[in-house]
Structure formats: structure tokens, C-alpha cells
Chain A
Amino acid sequence: MRFDSAVADRVTAFVLFALGAAMTWGGFVMDRLEVRQIHPASIPGLVPMILGVAMMLCAVLLTLNADKIERTELETGSWSSFAFSALWSCFFAIVLVSRIPFAAATAIYVAGFAGWFLLPDTPAANRWKKALLILGFGVITAIAVSTLFRYGFLVRLP
């Protein structure tokens, strides 16, 4: 997948144009508060309309210049590592947190994250030992973070 390319810029330009158009329209149809007899130049939709038009203009320029923009050398990386990190982190933040106690969610997340990356590279003979160490790390992190915020900063944990 290549994010920094002419095609990607054109697709982005299309999305940005739509966003700009939506904001312009949103600003145009926004309540002008005539009931409150405000000055017509201070209507709440004024700046959103201007920003929307500016964004549409930039989107058009991006489309026109997509082929001319110099591309820097891309940093190579692992999309599978990214995908797991993103999905597991989102699962923790959106699903686990606020559904189960924060400390338990943190322990599961940290141990799961570290285990996913570290266990496959470990020789089979040492795998159980390493899994226990990672689990211990997850539990200690969970206890430390929860204690710090609960008792140190008096936060009612989610």
C-alpha cells in the first residue's frame, strides 16, 4: 500500500472536496439566529462557509498538482504489525475499557500486545516461561497505572 502517491492524493482531494462542500452547505443552512436579532455579519455559519470554500479550493489544487508533487523516499515497514497494533489498541480503548474493570482491561491489553509480537520469536522450549513473564508484566503495569490514577490522582477509573 502506498499512501504518498498521486492516486492517493486524488482520492484524498475528492474526500476533502466533499468535506469542504459539506461544511459550506452546513454553514449556509445554519440557523442565522434572526429571532435573537444578531448582526447579520456575526452569523455562526460565516466562518464554516469560508473554511469550506477554502478547503474545496485546496482540494482542486491538490488534484491538479497531484502528478507534480515531489515524492520523498517511503519508509518501509510492516503492515501486519501496524494492523494488529491498530485493531488490538482500538479493541482495548473502545470495547474493553468501560465494559470490564480498567485494571483487568489493561492487563489483558498489555499482555496480549507484548505476547503477540514477542512469543512467536521465542524458542518453543522457553515459550511458557516467556508467556508467564509477559503476563506478569501486563499485571504489574495494570496495577501500577490503575493505582497511580485511582489513588494518586483520585480518578474514578472507567
Chain B
Amino acid sequence: MEALHQFGLALGALLTPTSVFHVAWATLLGIFVGSLPGLTATMGVALLTTLTYTMERDAAILVLICMYVGAIYGGSRSAILLNIPGTPASAATSLDGFPLAQRGEAGYAMGLATAGSAFGTLVGILLLVMLAPPLAAIAFDFGSFEFFWLAVFGIVISGQLTGGVTPLKGYIAGLLGLMVAMIGSEGIHAHVRFNLGMDPLNGGIGLIPAMVGAFGFAEVLTVMYRRKAELAEKKADRVLPKLVDLFKYKFTILRSGVIGTLVGIIPGVGEDIGAWASYAAARRTSREKDRFGNGSKEGLTAAETGNSAVVPGALIPALTLAVPGSAPAAVLIAALFLHGIRPGPMIMIEQPTFIYSVAAMLVLATLAILIYGLSLTRLFILVLRIPRELLMPVVFTLCVIGPYALTQRVFDIWVMVVFGLIGFVLRQMNYPMAPLVLGIILGALLDKSLRRGLTLTDGDLTPFFTRPISALFVVIIVLSIVAGLKPVRQAFARLGRSDGERTDV
């Protein structure tokens, strides 16, 4: 009840003309960014972070959250109309959204995606308000030992779940991120490591230039490399989802919302996995399994609900543990620090109402996507017609000036370029980007926690394995790695198949 009261107060405080104006433009911009293939939510949030530097704290966070929610939702537009997910989060959406568009039901598919996204975010917000305060309380028991394993857990689980065909590439991406984090002055003795003789590296690699490069410049190159896509829109149809459809899929919406939020809580996993997990769960329990992949409205609803629910879910560990649940949440953490908010276990002490403010911001962003999604369908189709040859150089110009604006160092532009080129090559080789980003974020935490823990125990490793929460982390990490081994995965797949056959009979 107290949580509801705090949430109501936060929502009331946000209902000012200025805040509503920020919600209106930032969510609309987010939907545009998400709907354009090549512009991702991470890139949008990273670029906007550089633009909100001079804004007042709450307004800046509101703008970034609206961009995040809008971009994740906006990805469904191009997934439905072009069969190209605007963001990776909408990959599952295109499976059923595009066939629906080809059948002349593009408008209805977009309406259903809008409703799914809105409900998914609302389920996630509810869980955020319920779970974040107790999680922050649990995190008070975390010492160096637990934080070390939390960092390792983040890298392992993120590598495992985003690695695609092999977790090994996910682990390598995570290790590369951790190695990048080793550059510059370390956090205990302020000793400069691996600066390669370059003074600008003494402070380490900036997260924003690295993210803008890996998600911005690399996307520009990927878009220009790809073939041009064609719009599937044929004729205007109804956009407003039928209530009977929404009622029919009520359990799918609820289940996908919960799955998406839980996936969001897992460090560095992100919206795409949330969408796929929700989609798979919906398919498994659906009475219309054969329609999945051929224009299933239930599949589309599940995917969109799942990916949107990840947004509030990803903010739960980001706010309470300073460990991002997704790549855009990683940028949000950097933005929070920029604006003087210290995410982590102390947040409920230092900023007791902040979590409720974030929940209120998410509600406003959800309302905005609902309004825009159901009313501006034609406008979004026009946006998709902007030639990439005009859009991409503008995006790259922002990639250049954005990181520079934060520090006024030309060196950060070079960092962005290097990370962009490396990011493009890694993507082409099927290395996931999320563990890389998580590695850069968690590197300092892992490094300091291990050395602090060893100093406390005079070099004894035992507490790393015997303290209850540490032991739990160790068990989960070992199980995750074992589950990623090919023979184990094959055994699970065989088990799943035989289970499915029994169910079908």
C-alpha cells in the first residue's frame, strides 16, 4: 500500500506541462528511432544521453526512459512492414507481423503490437514496484565476495543466452568487455594499467563513446551493407485491436509480461531474449501452434508483450544492483551517474522515492506509445520511406558529435570509430554485443570485489564459496555453464522433443 502511495505521489509530481511535453517528444523520437532499421534503442539512449547532459535531473531521466520504451516498441513497425526488425528486440515480432501485413492486416498487426507492448510494460512496472525495494534490501547483505560472483554471473548468463549457436562466442564477447574495462586507472590503488603510452587512456575507455561506436557506427555500417528492404503495406485496415482478441489472449499477455520482466532482471540479456522466450512459451501452450510463423495474432502479441516487459525488468537490477538487465539499461546507468544518481543497494536509502519516480515515468511513456501507436500509423509508414542514404550520414554525424559533447575530447571520437569497426566485424562473426557491453560495465566491479575480498581474507578463497549468497551464485554459474555444453543441450533438446510428442498424443 505504501508502494502504491509513493507511486501515486511520483505520478502526480510528474504531471506537469513540462514533463508531459518531454514525454510527448521523447517517446515519439524513440518510436522513430526504433522503427528505423539500423537505429537501436541502445543507440538512441546513448545519443540522447549526450543531449540531456544540460537538462535538469528528473527531466533527463524521463526523456531517456521515454526514448527507451518508445524505441523498443517502435521496432515492431519495421518488423511488421519491412520484415526487418527495427531493433533486435522485434525479431520475433516479424515472424507473425510480416505475414499479417502481407495479408493486408498491417494496421491491425500494429494495433495489436501496440496493445501488447502497453500491457507488457504495465506488467513489468507492477513487478518493478514490487520487486525492486526487496531486492535492494537483499543487496545490503552483498559484500565483495557476492559482488564478485554477481559480476561473473552477469557475464556468464549474458554470454550463455545471447551467444546464439554457441555460448563460447558470448563468453568471449564478455571477456573482451572485461579486458576493455581493465584499461586505465584501477579502482583500489589508482594504478594506471594498459594505457599503451596514451595519456587520454589513463581514465579508461568511456562507456558512452564505446556504446555509441558499437551500437551506432556499427549499425550505420550494417545498414549500408544490407540490401534495401521493401514495404509490405498494401491497404489501410483497422488499427484499433478488437477487445475480444485482447480478452482471448489475456493469459498470453500476462504470461509474456511476467516472462519478459524476469528475463529483464537477468543481467545483460535484454529484450530480444524476452521476446523469444515469451514467443516460445506462447507457442508451446497455444491451441493454434500451426499458425505461429504464418501470421498468428497470438504469437505477435506474445513477442511484443515480452520485449516491452523487459524494459521495466531490466531496470530492476540496474537500479538496485547497478547491474544492467539489458544494453540500453547499461547506458541508462551511465546516464544516472552523469546526473548524480548512484544506482545500487543504497538507492532506497539515498533516493527512497526514485524507484517510484521511474515507475511513474514508465507509465507515462506507456500511455504515450498507446496514443501514438493507435493514432499515427500513417506517419510511421512515411518515416520508413526515408532513404537510408540520407538518414545514415546524419546518424553518423550525431555519433561523432555526441560523445565529443560530453567530454570535449577528440580522442573520444576516435574511441567511437574503433569500437564501431570492431563492433561491425564482431557482429558479422556472430559475436553478441550485450556481453561486451556488460563486461565494460562490470569490469571495475569484478576487479575491485575480487581484490578487496582477497585482502579481507588475507588471500583465502574459501569465503568466496562458503558464504550463502556466494555459494548460490557459484551453483547457478556452474549449472549455466554445464547447461551450455553441447551434449547437455542435445540431451535437453531430445527430452523436449519426446515431451512434445507425448503432449501431442
Q: Does A14 contact B (CB under 8 A)?
A: no
Q: Does B392 contact A (CB under 8 A)?
A: yes
Q: Does B381 contact A (CB under 8 A)?
A: no
Measured between beta carbons, the chain B residues less than 8 angstroms from A58 are 168, 171-172, 175
Interchain CB contact under 8 A, B186 and A44 = yes
A10 to B355 CA separation, bound complex (whole angstroms): 47
Measured between beta carbons, the chain B residues less than 8 angstroms from A47 are 182, 446-447, 450-451
Interchain CB contact under 8 A, A106 and B397 = yes
Q: Does B285 contact A (CB under 8 A)?
A: no
- In the complex where A30-B193, A42-B454, A114-B389 touch, is A153 in contact with B54 (Cβ < 8 A)? yes
Measured between beta carbons, the chain B residues less than 8 angstroms from A153 are 51, 53-54, 405
Interchain CB contact under 8 A, B225 and A98 = no
Cβ proximity bits A79-101 to B, threshold 8 Å, 1 near / 0 not = 10110111001101110011000
Q: Does A61 contact B (CB under 8 A)?
A: yes
Interchain CB contact under 8 A, B413 and A93 = yes
Query: Which residue of chain B is the closest to A58 with respect to CB atoms?
Result: B172
Chain B: number of interface residues, binned into ranges: 35 or more
Measured between beta carbons, the chain A residues less than 8 angstroms from B398 are 145
Which B residues from 392 to 438 make CB contacts under 8 A with A?
392-394, 396-398, 400-401, 404-405, 408, 410, 413-414, 416-417, 421, 424-425, 428-430
Q: Does B387 contact A (CB under 8 A)?
A: yes
A62 to B173 CA separation, bound complex (whole angstroms): 12
Measured between beta carbons, the chain B residues less than 8 angstroms from A98 are 410
Which A residues from 131 to 152 make CB contacts under 8 A with B?
137, 141, 145, 149
Measured between beta carbons, the chain A residues less than 8 angstroms from B166 are 65, 69-70
Query: Which residue of chain A is the closest to B193 with respect to CB atoms?
Result: A44
Measured between beta carbons, the chain B residues less than 8 angstroms from A71 are 165
Q: Does B226 contact A (CB under 8 A)?
A: yes
Interchain CB contact under 8 A, B188 and A51 = no
Q: Does A21 contact B (CB under 8 A)?
A: no
Select B168's contact among A61, A82, A92, A141, beta carbons within 8 Å. Answer: A61
Interchain CB contact under 8 A, B220 and A85 = yes
A43 to B172 CA separation, bound complex (whole angstroms): 24
Measured between beta carbons, the chain A residues less than 8 angstroms from B221 are 82, 85-86, 89
Interchain CB contact under 8 A, B405 and A149 = yes
Select B191's contact among A12, A31, A61, A82, beta carbons within 8 Å. Answer: A31
Measured between beta carbons, the chain A residues less than 8 angstroms from B194 are 23, 26, 48
Q: Does A123 contact B (CB under 8 A)?
A: no
Select A155's contact among B168, B404, B455, beta carbons within 8 Å. Answer: B404
Select A93's contact among B178, B193, B417, B451, beta carbons within 8 Å. Answer: B417
Interchain CB contact under 8 A, A117 and B389 = yes
Q: Does A125 contact B (CB under 8 A)?
A: no
- In the complex where A42-B189, A89-B396, A97-B400 touch, is A81 in contact with B168 (Cβ < 8 A)? no
Chain A: number of interface residues, binned into ranges: 35 or more
Q: Does A78 contact B (CB under 8 A)?
A: yes
Which B residues from 168 to 183 make CB contacts under 8 A with A?
168-169, 171-172, 175-176, 178-179, 182
Cβ proximity bits B140-181 to A, threshold 8 Å, 1 near / 0 not = 000000000000000000000000111011011001101100
Interchain CB contact under 8 A, A77 and B225 = yes
Interchain CB contact under 8 A, A62 and B165 = no
Select A41's contact among B169, B178, B404, B451, beta carbons within 8 Å. Answer: B451
- In the complex where A54-B175, A145-B397, A153-B54 touch, is A90 in contact with B446 (Cβ < 8 A)? no
Which A residues from 34 to 69 make CB contacts under 8 A with B?
36, 38-48, 50-51, 54-55, 58-59, 61-62, 65, 68-69
A92 to B390 CA separation, bound complex (whole angstroms): 16
- In the complex where A36-B189, A62-B168 touch, is A110 in contact with B405 (Cβ < 8 A)? no
Query: Which residue of chain B is the closest to A148 with respect to CB atoms?
Result: B51
Interchain CB contact under 8 A, A70 and B397 = no
A88 to B358 CA separation, bound complex (whole angstroms): 41
Measured between beta carbons, the chain B residues less than 8 angstroms from A54 are 175
Select B454's contact among A41, A113, A145, A155, beta carbons within 8 Å. Answer: A41
Q: Does A19 contact B (CB under 8 A)?
A: yes
Measured between beta carbons, the chain A residues less than 8 angstroms from B447 are 47
Interchain CB contact under 8 A, A40 and B459 = yes
A90 to B221 CA separation, bound complex (whole angstroms): 11
A70 to B486 CA separation, bound complex (whole angstroms): 11
Q: Does B227 contact A (CB under 8 A)?
A: yes
Interchain CB contact under 8 A, B165 and A72 = yes
A85 to B396 CA separation, bound complex (whole angstroms): 10
| A88 CB to nearest chain B CB (Å) | 9
A30 to B193 CA separation, bound complex (whole angstroms): 8
- In the complex where A55-B175, A86-B221, A106-B397 touch, is A118 in contact with B428 (Cβ < 8 A)? no
Interchain CB contact under 8 A, A76 and B227 = yes
Interchain CB contact under 8 A, A51 and B175 = yes
Interchain CB contact under 8 A, A72 and B430 = yes
Residues of A in contact with B (beta carbons under 8 Å apart): 3-4, 8-9, 12, 16, 19, 23, 26, 30-31, 33, 36, 38-48, 50-51, 54-55, 58-59, 61-62, 65, 68-72, 75-79, 81-82, 84-86, 89-90, 92-94, 97-98, 102, 106, 109-110, 113-114, 117-118, 137, 141, 145, 149, 153-158
Instruction: Beyond the given A42-B189, A62-B169, A113-B396, please list 14 additional residue pairs across the A-B interface where CB-CB is below 8 A.
Output: A3-B425, A41-B451, A41-B458, A44-B189, A55-B175, A58-B175, A72-B164, A82-B221, A85-B220, A90-B421, A97-B413, A98-B410, A109-B393, A149-B401
Which 3 A-B pairs have CB atoms at the shortest separation, nearest pair first?
A41-B454, A3-B428, A113-B393
List 21 contacting pairs A-B, 8 Å CB cutoff, sorted by A: A33-B189, A33-B191, A42-B189, A45-B193, A50-B450, A54-B175, A58-B171, A58-B172, A62-B169, A68-B486, A77-B227, A78-B224, A78-B227, A86-B221, A93-B396, A93-B414, A110-B393, A110-B397, A118-B387, A141-B397, A155-B401
Residues of B in contact with A (beta carbons under 8 Å apart): 51, 53-54, 164-166, 168-169, 171-172, 175-176, 178-179, 182, 186, 188-189, 191, 193-194, 217, 220-221, 224-227, 387, 389-390, 392-394, 396-398, 400-401, 404-405, 408, 410, 413-414, 416-417, 421, 424-425, 428-430, 446-447, 450-452, 454-455, 458-459, 486
